[in-house]
Amino acid sequence: MLSQASERTMHRVRWVLALGWLVLIASLFYDPFTPILTEPSNLSSPFHIDPNSCIKIRENCIVQKPYSLSVLIWWAMIVPAGILILMTLGHEFWRRICPLSFFSQIPRALGIQRKRKVIDPVTHEVRYELVTVGEHSWLGENHLYVQFGLFIVGLGVRILFVNGDRTALAYFLIGTICSAVIIGYLYAGKSWCNYFCPMAPVQMIYTGPRALLGSKAHVAPGITQSMCRTVDSTGQEKSACVGCKTACIDIDAEKSYWQELQMPGRRLVQYGYLGMVIGFYLYYFLYAGNWDYYFTGAWTHEEHLLHRILDPGFYIYGHPIAIPKAIAVYITYGILVIITFSLGLTLEKLYRQHARWRGRAVSAEQAQHFSFTVFTVVSFWAFFCYGARPSLNRLPTTLVLAFNAFIVLIGAVWMIQTLGRTREQYERESMANSLRKQLQRLQLDPALLKGRSLETLSPDELDLLVKILPGLSHHLRVQTYMGVLQELIEQGVTHASRSFDFCEKLRQELQLGEADHLAAIEAIGQTSPEVLVAPRWQSFATYLHDAETLARTVVRPVNKKRSVRKKQRL
């Protein structure tokens, strides 16, 4: 949505939002204005206190007195707005305006990021490069467990300490900002967003392959969705990517989605998040014994929270259960996460069984995608059954019903848009532009296009056209394949070490074999060797891993092929 907005404009927007966030934090320490809106005598305000109401925590009514709205604004307005943005406008909008992401880039802007000494394995030159989280390090491969763990801990801390205590919330937000800045100093790029931020899994869930109004980065090469961009001396925007993550959601959301579908912790995050949404809001009822405690927003100004963490954590059917609140919160989360995780795995199996019963085969990956999509929509609807309600319920009934219909509509449209997506569709669309360029070089019979130009053909139509190409000479088919392959590697859609599997379907349609792929790689290496080399910004560990993979899957087979040819000549 904002992928085409200039970096200068977005930089100003981020400054405004960051300053606004700091003002909100300041209001948590001192706020002489919003308590006026909660005065019992201020009948014109929808937030005024009703002195005759009794909002109970178990058997006791909460003492009602004027309070600051800062906490309510944060939890019941700003946070739900963020979820709505992620589902509708996507990460490319959110990450370009996110104040926390902005704060994490302060060390980069000041030029004070940590660097490490690296010795070039070829030239033995010593250089200093920015430090990134290695994708094949423990954190790089298991960061979803870390982020989801921090998310669970954070939601527990919110109920136990932060919800009703303005000062605690202020320090909580300040601590989060400081953490982002420290990570921004220790690791370059968007390492905070990709590997540490507890909200990143939530963003990943609600974005899916693509947000409702998100752009298609894979069919528009360039800077595309990335927030990692800068302006050079000529005023032109350019990528500032340092390769902290190969399948980065900031560059291509759908590529990141499909490549990380089998990542460790992916199912736990996707299915467990629904359990966290249900468990978080359900605990208000399990603790207070009623829903008024949550829906009135009384929890935003509840006093002495710290003194109650060892009180009985459950109150069910009028009976307190002697499990400390500090433990009861996490018991609730754990039980719900286990339930929804099990339901997610069951849904995958049932979907495949139903597909087989209908006489069609469905891959495990596609069943997982189907289940992920369903759980995302249910999570979205479940969140807005409760999220924002302490503020929304003060509006006229007509507006509340209109908002409910809007939420249902967004979820339904997103699900329809997402359910039918497949990895094959994405890959076909990814290579459509490159394929179109290669086909333009061939002297195709105009009758094949029926008066249309190649530019007007859809990816599916191009795919159909390719199936006719085997009638051309083998040389032309290899040249077409090599051109597409080189463009895909240059654009970062795939890497030389992974291109064999990525282009398998294209080879089948062109009736080419493994030897043709190896020949194409060999030709690219002779004419444009820099294409097959890992970019300079790529981390050294990732470089070594890809170099080893490239040698195993490409270089050694090519050398073997050369050896066979040499023996044949002898």
Task: Give the tens place of pLDDT for each residue, 394-440.
Answer: 999 999 999 999 999 999 999 999 998 998 888 888 777 777 777 77
Predicted confidence band of residue 484 (pLDDT cuts 50, 70, 90): confident
**DSSP-assigned beta bridge partners for residue 314:** 321
The enclosing H or E element of 154 equals: helix 138-157
**Looking at 96-100, 166-170, 248-252, which range is the least confident one?**
248-252
User: How far apart, in whole angstroms, are the C-alpha atoms of residue 388 and residue 407?
Assistant: 12
Higher-confidence residue of 219 and 304: namely: 304
Choose among 416, 350, 368, 383: nearest CA to 274: 383
Choose among 525, 528, 527: nearest CA to 551: 525
Cβ atoms of 373 and 415 closer than 8 Å: yes
Q: What is the pTM of this model?
A: 0.83
Q: Compute the average pLDDT of residues 261-289.
A: 95
User: How far apart, in whole angstroms, are the C-alpha atoms of residue 31 and residue 38?
Assistant: 13
Higher-confidence residue of 179 and 546: namely: 179
What phi, psi does 263 have (nearest 5°)?
Answer: -65, 145
Which pLDDT score, from 0 to 100, does residue 243 have?
67
Per-residue burial over 86-112, b if 16 or more Cβ lie within 10 Å, else e, is: bbbbbbbbbbbbbbbbbbbbebbeeee
State the burial class of residue 73 (Cβ atoms within 10 Å of its Cβ: 0-12, 13-18, 19+): middle
DSSP string covering 434-477, please?
HHHHHHHTS---HHHHTT--GGG--HHHHHHHHTTGGGS-HHHH
Which pLDDT score, from 0 to 100, does residue 224 have?
58
Percent of the chain having pLDDT more than 90? 45
Query: Tokens 């409702």 sit at which residue?
Result: 212
pLDDT in tens, 504-541: 878 887 788 888 888 888 888 878 776 776 544 444 44
C-alpha distances in Å from residue 343, one per residue of 263, 337, 446: 19, 10, 54
Q: How far is CA 48 from the centre of its chain?
A: 39
What phi, psi does 160 have (nearest 5°)?
Answer: -75, -35
Which pLDDT score, from 0 to 100, does residue 537 have?
41
Query: Tokens 């752009």 sit at which residue?
Result: 215
CA angle in degrees (0–180, nearest 5) for 96-98-101: 90
The enclosing H or E element of 321 equals: strand 319-324
Domain boundaries along the sequence of the chain = 7-347, 431-569
Higher-confidence residue of 8 and 36: namely: 36
* Amino acid at the residue 77: M
Task: List, in order, residues 6 or more apart from 529 with CB less than 8 Å away.
Answer: none
pLDDT in tens, 138-180: 998 999 999 999 999 999 999 999 988 999 999 999 999 999 9
pLDDT for 308 beyond 70 = yes
Which pLDDT score, from 0 to 100, does residue 277 have?
96
User: How far apart, in whole angstroms, are the C-alpha atoms of residue 29 and residue 25?
Assistant: 7
pLDDT for 73 beyond 70 = yes
Q: How far is CA 254 from the centre of its chain?
A: 10
Task: List, in order, residues 6 or more apart from 545 with CB less than 8 Å away.
Answer: 135, 136
Cβ atoms of 41 and 10 closer than 8 Å: no
Predicted confidence band of residue 561 (pLDDT cuts 50, 70, 90): very low
pLDDT for 566 beyond 60 = no
Sign of CA pseudo-dihedral 485, 490, 495, 497: positive
Mean residue pLDDT of the chain comes to 84
Task: List, in order, residues 6 or more apart from 174 with CB less than 8 Å away.
Answer: 25
